[in-house]
Each structure stands twice: as C-alpha cells, then as structure tokens.
Amino acid sequence: MSHATLFKFSLLLFVIACTTPLHAQTAGKIVHDSEYYILEAQNGKVWELENGELDMKLAELRQKFGTPPNIIHYMWDDQPPMSFGDPIYQKMRGYDTPNLNQLAKDGMILARMCTEPGCTPSRAAMMTGQLAIRTGHYEIGFPVEYTGLAAENVTLAEVLSKVGYATGFYGKLHLGDIEESYPHNQGYDEAFWGVYNQIVSLYNNQGEAANAIIGMKEELLAKNPYQRDRNFIQDESFVFYLEGTKGEDAKEWRDGSQEIQDYRDFDGECRERALAFIRSNAEAKKPFMVSWWPFMFSFIPEPQKTTLQRGMVGEDYNRVVERDIEQLRQTLEELGIAENTLIIAMADNGPMTHHPPPGAGLGEGLFRGGKGDFLEGGVRVCAAALWPGMIQPGQVAGDMIHETDLFTTFARLAGATEHVPTDRIIDGIDQTALLLKGDTHGRRDYNFIYQGPDLAATVKDQYKIHWTSDDPGQAKSGLTAVYDLYNDHREINAMVVGAFHMKEPFKRMRARHELWKQKYPDREHRHGPAYTGISNARPATLSLSKPPADLKSLPFDPLEFIEYLDDLPFDAASEPGPGQ
C-alpha cells in the first residue's frame, strides 16, 4: 500500500469509529457539525433539563401574547466588537450611538459573536444556518456575478413561513444576481433590496467627482483613443435595487435610476417599508420575522458631519442605524409587542481594515485583521440581543456564538425546528439557553474559519490554530501556530511549549470536520443568467442575459462561460470543461 492509500484507509477507519454512532443518534434530527456531538455527549443531559425550563418560559409568553415571538434581525456592515454599547471604546474612536447603546443596556451584549469574514459569506450563512463554504458562497460578490443563492437552499424565511410567520427583507442583500436568489423567491413574503454592496454609492457622477482617480463614469473621462472593447464594463446595465412580492416578478426600484440620491434615499425607504410591514402584521396578530440589513455607510462622504469622528462610519450611524433603532423601538412599544419581539442587532463581519474608504474609521479594532481575514479581526463583530422580560438587561455574555446559531435559535423560538432541513449539515446551534439564561449558558466552543474555499483556522474555546499563514515558519505544518485568544488576542505570539499537548487534539478535530463532509458534501455555487425575472428591466439590463448585438458573430456562445464561473478563480482541484 502506498503512503497515500494507507493514510486514506486510516482516515476511513477513523471516520467509522468516530461518526457511525453519532449518525445513528441523529436520524430525523438536525445534523450538526461533528464537533457539536463531542459537546452534546458531555453536556446533553444538562441541556435537556434546561430545554424543558426554556420551553416553559416560551409557552408562558405565547399564552400571554397569543403568537410565537416576532424576530427582527438587524445587521449592518463591518463593525468590530465594542462598536456600540461600549462608551469607553467610542470615546477613544470619536463617535457615539446613544440608541444602540441603550438597546445594549436594555438587553444583552454578545461579546463573542462570530461571523463569516465577508459580506456575501456572512449573509449566506445567516440565511441558511450553514457555513458559507457549504453553499459555495465563500466569495464577496461584485457586479455582475451570474450567480446567487440557489433554490435548493432552505432559508430562514422558508423555515418560518412553514409555521405561519410573515417574512420581510429590507436592505443590502449581496447574495447574487440570478432570479432564484431574489429574496421573494427564497421564502420572503415581501422584499426590497440592494443587489450588491456599498460600491453602488460610487457608480454615479458624484462618485466620480469624489474619487477622481477611479474613473468609472465614461462621460466624465477623457476619450480613450486606444479603446477597442466597449463591452468590457457595462455599468449602465447594472441593477442596483429591486423590490418583489412572493410569487411575482421583481421590479427595479425607481426604474433603474443610478443617482446618488437613490442611494441616499434607500435606507430611509427600507425603514418606512420595514416599519409598515411590522405594523400591518402586528395589527393582523400575525407573527413576523424581518431581516433588516441597511447599507449604513457610503463610499461618498456626506457633506454634513455630525460626529467627532468626522468619518463616514460615525456619521452614518446617526443618519441610518440610530434612526432605525429609535423608530423600531418606538413602533414596537406603540404596538404593545416589545415584550414579544426579539431584536438581534449586529454587524456582518470585521472592519474593512484593508484599503478602507478615506475617513471611514474602519481600521483594526481590538483584534488583528478585518474583513477577509481568518484572524479574529475578520470574524468577531459587535452584537446585542434585546427582548424585554425574556432577556435579563445589562448582561455581557462571553460565550462563543456564531451567526448561524441565530438560524437554529430563531427556528426554535418560532416552533419551526421540525422544518429545518435534515439532509445537510446545519452549523447553527440552538442558543436559546444563552439568550434566556445568560452568560455561560452557551452551547458552542468551536469555530471553523474559512478564508475563501480553504479552512484557514480552527478555534476551540480560548485556543486557535492557524492552518494557513503568511509566515510559513508559524503555520502550514500546523505544528506550532496555536494562539491563546485571551492572552494573545491579536494572534501574534504562537505558543510553543504551551501548545504541545494541543497539536493532536486540533488535528483530530479537523479530521472529524472534514470526514463528516464526505457524508454531507459542500454544494457548488449555482450559475445562470443575471437579472431575469424583472418586470421593468431596462434594455441594457436585459442585454446581460442575451448576447450583445455586436457579439453575435463570435465563434462561440458568449454566455457559455456562466456555467464554469466557479472553476475559474480558485478551484484548482476540479477540472473545468464542458464534459464535467
């Protein structure tokens, strides 16, 4: 037997030894990642007792209000832990957020909330309860992607719809541009969304003026006498904002206008629609779930600064998030449903540390690294939970919690756990106990952190191993790159002697995680023509899903590439080609 064969054979024995009994236990139940079962085996009995207690508490609330609790998931971009709810941090960064801070005070700060390290991966994880790697959404999308969340994914909106929840989506989606990815085709009753990220704030004449170097608006540039291809970038075809109702075609908001004023109005429009949706469902006594994900900040500085920070983030907290939170809480109070509504307020990933827009104040926070990094700076965010009467106010929870846990937790709170799919790994763990019983009642002590398609780091409790690194002497071999996140939270000084006894446990943990994937494989991205299913699509938009007129004479199908998109940038292991 060759070494490679022997190794594979050993792994096979290992997976049989490790996973068979676990799988037997989980038939018909949610399938979690392998590490969860290690915890369940040791804590399951306590958790079962706690679950009974939690069920009673939820039943009492339901008796009082007549419906299961409403859920509002409010999420914005790129803010590290302490960005709100921490007045000391805010003084040192030069801004404050009184409304968010009040929310944190009235609720519980989730000090160790972890997300995926980028917008698209994070939003995919939140929608599906799965790590982004499992649905192929490990890359941040830009116009035009020809891809998006596939129909086969089961979103939180789909799960909650099954038990009678009204579901609404308002804000930045950033989960693709193919028809099946539109939120009203993914379980939301109504949706109003930005297709891409905040770069759409730049695609206008004002963006060009504020960022003279970029050169995006052709009509403001000197004529290029060397230009031979007028179709390389087709910015007039981009779709920025869509709206849609379940079962109907989408519509371009404001008929596809791309003015800066549209961008400025967008978050306010989200606010109006979200609050109207909340109001009408509350009045109809129908439980609801709202995903409200504002753009918040802009790549174009707003002319009037209001905060000491004088950067875009401080400013736009005031312009967007602070108003949203204030009016949301007022509305819930007025409707008398504040005590039957859970609000989670959080960021989607770490700060945009690398090449941030000028003045945006997006440098590293406490942790090293930011958006895009597998360092804690990439995956640790600010977060708080508010649920008057159910969550004890003024708490700071140190338990690890992952955004995917919200998927599973929301399903449980809604009484919809049985509708969570059981044919795939759901990374989200039910963290109801953490919310209702507080600090130290979390059920997670691990995190598998992917950077793009690669597993880059694994966290267990206070320790973290880097599987990859810029410094080949530290990692790659996986031998010494173990960091103590309490003592060395910036992941700078790898432990040596202190990590000797952790090498093999970390390797075992990774082997279990990867072997479990053999049974429940990661899915590929879905590809297809962009922007179909839009009733008022403009001719420029339509042209993206049809060969442009002057490309008709090509010796190949100019849209054939769409099918092979994923194989191009990263995936060296697969073999792209028509026969695949």
Interface positions with its own copies (CB under 8 A): 81-82, 85-89, 91-95, 109, 111-112, 308-311, 314, 358-361, 363-366, 380, 396-398, 462, 484, 486-490, 492-493, 498
- From the list 491, 437, 487, the residue with the least C-alpha distance to 464 is 491
Q: Token digits for 65?
A: 């209000």
Question: Helix axis angle, 260-283 relative to 322-335, nearest 10°?
Answer: 20
Whichever of 80 and 415 has its CB closer to its own copies, that residue is 80
Minimum gap (Å) between residue 352 Cβ and its own copies: 12
Smallest gap from residue 467 Cβ to its own copies (A): 22
Contacts of 249 (CB under 8 A, 6+ apart): 533, 534, 535
Residue 563 CA to residue 548 CA, distance in Å, equals 18
Residue 336 vs 358, nearer CB to its own copies: 358
> Distance (Å, rounded) from C-alpha 88 to C-alpha 438?
23
The answer to whether residues 219 and 209 touch, using CB atoms and an 8 Å cutoff, is no
Toward its own copies, which CB reaches closer, 41 or 492? 492
DSSP for 6-35, written as a single string: HHHHHHHHHHHHHHHHHHHHHTTS-B--HH
Residue among 82 and 390 whose Cβ is closer to its own copies: 82
In the complex, minimum distance from the CB of residue 499 to its own copies, in angstroms, rounded to a whole number: 12
Min dist. Cβ of residue 483 to its own copies (A): 10
Q: Which two tokens stand for residue 176?
A: 């693709």
Q: Which is nearer to its own copies, 358 or 473 (CB)?
A: 358
Q: Of 466, 574, 454, 467, which Cα lies nearest the Cα of 524?
A: 574
- H or E, element range at 3: helix 3-26
Residues 210 and 220: beta-carbon distance below 8 Å: no
Minimum gap (Å) between residue 380 Cβ and its own copies: 8
Minimum distance from residue 500 beta carbon to its own copies (Å): 14
- 143 neighbors 409 (Cβ within 8 angstroms): no
Could you tell me where the DSSP H helices lie in 464-550?
A: 503-519, 539-543
Q: For residues 544 and 237, is the Cβ–Cβ distance under 8 A?
A: yes
Contact partners, residue 521, CB within 8 Å, separation at least 6: none
Helix (H/G/I), strand (E/B), else coil: 263 = helix
For its own copies, the closer CB: 439 or 567: 439
**Shortest Cβ 260–its own copies spacing (Å):** 22
Q: DSSP letters of 200-211?
A: GGTSSHHHHHHT
The rounded distance, in Å, linking the Cα atoms of 352 and 371 is 5
Longest Cα separation, the chain:
75
In this complex, which beta carbon is closest to its own copies, that of residue 490 or of residue 513? 490
Distance (Å, whole) CA 40 – CA 46: 9
By C-beta, is 69 or 85 nearer to its own copies? 85
Minimum CB distance to its own copies smaller for 223 or for 355: 355
* Shortest distance (Å) from residue 431 CB to its own copies: 16
Q: How far is CA 488 from CA 135, 179, 219, 367, in A?
A: 33, 45, 51, 10
- Least spacing, CB of residue 122 vs its own copies, in Å: 20
Closer to its own copies by CB, 395 or 541: give it: 395
- Shortest Å, Cβ 78 to its own copies: 14
Least gap, CB of 104 to its own copies (angstroms): 9
Cα radius of gyration rounded to whole Å, the chain: 24
**CB of residue 107 to its own copies, shortest distance in Å:** 13
Rank residues 371 and 527 by Cβ distance to its own copies and give the closer one: 371
**Least separation, in Å, of the C-beta of 487 and its own copies?**
4
**How many C-beta atoms surround the C-beta of residue 479 within 10 A?**
15
Burial (CB count within 10 angstroms: exposed 0-12, middle 13-18, buried 19+), residue 347: buried
CB of 109 to its own copies, least distance (A): 6
Q: Which is nearer to its own copies, 147 or 198 (CB)?
A: 198
Residue closer to its own copies (CB basis): 111 or 157: 111
Rounded Cα distance between 212 and 209, Å, is 5
- Indicate the residue among 81 and 287 with the shorter CB distance to its own copies: 81
- CB-CB contact of 195 with 241 (8 Å): yes
* Cα–Cα distance for residue pair 539/556, rounded to 1 Å: 23
**Distance separating the N- and C-terminal Cα atoms of the chain:** 30
